[in-house]
């Protein structure tokens, strides 16, 4: 029995695996072939290798337990009756691994109790799952796409909330749930897809804060007299006078009249040309961008309810840049751990098996990768004063997961992580962690 197996079993001992298995019907009697803990351990082993399927789990259990377990025996654990076990295990992991927010020493976010970034990412699924995960409408036939909604605690480098949905459950629809997760004193950073006035109003009612892009076409009114603001005319006039930024209190929406702060900053000509080219080549052929829309691309326009006493205009833009971190997380999932490939390579999958695999993947990330990254981030900084790259560390976890979990020589691994897995020093720009902790 290898040390990695024992270490994973030790980690899982912190979770009520047997109780969850009995409560959810994963096991109704004394197991003859596959115990719940062994199923999870060896499923995690195949996830780490990027080869999650019933045959791979059966082979891993057979080699590990030194007794033959058939693919059919594992398949029997991938039915609707067993889906609840993987879901409850994931929910337990998310709740148990979540630590209280701690952001001492960060002046940009020091005013807030917590800082959360919200976004979603899509995974291509086997087309027979089109009813469970309906994808985009396509003339080529049925397609299936799952959407993962992630809420990330930016300062604690951990996942706060995750939902599995379909492609058609878009971000705008999810905005109400996002507002429901907000707590008083928290800052919520999200992109244009979640910029729904009703949801932002609920966040404000909870005495929480939001920061997002301004949606084109949203009516703006002056806070004092209620007169409508012609945004393009106002910004053009400022630019002609040599002013390249704006910071106003305004009311958003013709009906909602949501009090908010509107901050705008003109972008470099190079960035404007890139935005313009992208808009003109929009993949949606029905998109017919107006002249006003194209001209406003010369500006980055944000809306927030964070008061001026907390953030200057430049600080609001600096804070919004950290939204990119969640994009890096998604890219890490797909490119380093090949999660996109796990499902894309399949032509057919049973719906309950697909859901079980998704929950197990998210549970593995929550239980192992995220805590390992946080642990090594602190230890590498304390010992070497270097910042750990999540991309490079993912390579180390993928290649040396057994060694990391065996924990025989932690200091040597810290030294190796410092040498191979840290950001390169650059004179022209700062990495994400330098930006986060320099304030």
Tokens of 122: 């899509």
Which ranges of the chain have pLDDT less than 70?
1-4, 31-32, 100-106, 138-141, 283-287, 345, 407-409, 439
Predicted local confidence at residue 431, as pLDDT? 85
Instruction: State the maximum Cα–Cα separation within the chain, in Å, rounded to a whole number.
Output: 80
What is the pLDDT, as a whole number, of residue 338? Answer: 79
The reported pLDDT for the residue numbered 140 is 63
pLDDT at 31: 65
For position 287, what pLDDT does the model report? 61
CA 219 – CA 226 distance, rounded (Å): 11
Nearest to 377 by CA among 388, 368, 393, 392: 388
- The pLDDT score that the predictor gives to residue 435 is 84
Q: Tell me how crowded residue 255 is: count the other CB atoms within 10 A of its CB.
A: 7
Contact 61, 41 (CB under 8 A): no
Give the chain's domains with CATH numbers: 3-95+350-420 (no CATH), 109-329 (3.90.350.10)
Q: What's the CA gap between 224 and 50, in Å, rounded? A: 58
* Helix H or strand E encompassing 115: strand 114-125
The pLDDT score that the predictor gives to residue 69 is 85
Rounded Cα distance, 83 and 129, in Å: 16
What is the structure's pLDDT at 25?
87
Give the strand order in the sheet containing 299-304.
158-166, 144-153, 114-125, 186-190, 209-213, 299-304, 258-266, 245-252, 220-222
**CA–CA gap between residue 193 and residue 214 (Å, rounded):** 10
How would you classify the pairing of strands 209-213 and 186-190? parallel
Q: Is 435 in contact with 322 (CB distance < 8 Å)? A: yes
Give me the pLDDT at residue 390, please.
94
**pLDDT digits over 91-144, tens only?**
999 998 877 666 555 678 989 999 999 999 999 998 889 999 998 876 666 889
Q: What is the pLDDT of residues 358-395, one digit of tens each?
A: 999 999 999 999 999 999 999 999 999 999 999 999 99
Residue 285 has a pLDDT of 54
- For residue 55, what are the CA distances in angstroms to 61, 374, 381? 10, 33, 41
Task: With CA atoms as reference, report the closest residue to 204 among 187, 221, 219.
Answer: 187
Measured between alpha carbons, how far is 253 from 249 in angstroms, rounded to an integer?
13
pLDDT for position 103: 55
Q: What pLDDT sits at residue 152?
A: 94
């Amino acid at each position: 029995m290898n040390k990695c197996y024992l270490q994973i079993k030790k980690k899982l001992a912190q979770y009520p695996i047997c109780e969850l298995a009995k409560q959810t019907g994963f096991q109704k009697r004394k197991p003859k072939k596959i115990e719940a803990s062994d199923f999870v351990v060896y499923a995690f082993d195949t996830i780490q290798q990027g080869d999650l399927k019933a045959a791979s789990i059966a082979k891993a259990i057979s080699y590990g337990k030194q007794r033959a377990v058939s693919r059919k025996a594992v398949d029997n654990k991938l039915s609707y009756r067993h889906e609840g076990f993987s879901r409850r295990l994931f929910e337990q992991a998310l709740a148990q691994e979540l630590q209280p927010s701690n952001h001492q020493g960060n002046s940009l976010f020091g005013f807030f109790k917590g800082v959360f970034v919200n976004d979603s990412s899509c995974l291509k699924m086997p087309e027979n799952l089109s009813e469970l995960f309906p994808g985009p409408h396509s003339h080529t036939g049925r397609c299936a796409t799952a959407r993962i909604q992630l809420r990330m605690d930016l300062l604690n480098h951990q996942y706060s909330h995750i939902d599995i949905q379909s492609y058609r459950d878009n971000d705008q629809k999810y905005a109400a749930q996002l507002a429901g997760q907000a707590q008083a004193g928290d800052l919520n950073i999200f992109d244009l897809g979640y910029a729904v006035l009703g949801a932002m109003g609920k966040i404000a009612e909870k005495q929480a804060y939001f920061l997002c892009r301004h949606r084109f076409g949203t009516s703006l009114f002056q806070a004092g007299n209620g007169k409508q603001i012609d945004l393009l005319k106002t910004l053009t006039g400022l630019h002609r006078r040599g002013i390249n930024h704006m910071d106003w209190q305004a009311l958003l929406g013709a009906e909602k009249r949501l009090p908010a702060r509107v901050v705008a900053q003109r972008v470099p000509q190079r960035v404007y040309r890139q935005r313009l080219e992208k808009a003109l080549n929009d993949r949606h052929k029905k998109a017919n961008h107006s002249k006003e829309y194209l001209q406003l691309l010369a500006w980055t326009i944000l809306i927030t309810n964070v008061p001026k006493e907390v953030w200057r205009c430049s600080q609001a833009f600096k804070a919004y840049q950290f939204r990119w971190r969640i994009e890096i997380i998604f890219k890490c999932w797909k490119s380093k751990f090949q999660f996109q490939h796990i499902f894309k390579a399949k032509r057919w999958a049973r719906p309950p098996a697909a859901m079980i695999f998704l929950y197990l993947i998210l549970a593995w990330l929550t239980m192992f990768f995220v805590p390992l990254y946080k642990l090594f981030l602190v230890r590498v900084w304390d010992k070497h004063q270097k910042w750990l790259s999540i991309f490079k560390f993912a390579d180390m976890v993928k290649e040396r997961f057994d060694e990391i979990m065996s924990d025989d020589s932690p200091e040597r691994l810290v030294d190796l992580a410092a040498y191979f897995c840290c950001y390169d020093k650059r004179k022209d720009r700062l990495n994400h962690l330098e930006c986060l902790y320099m304030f």
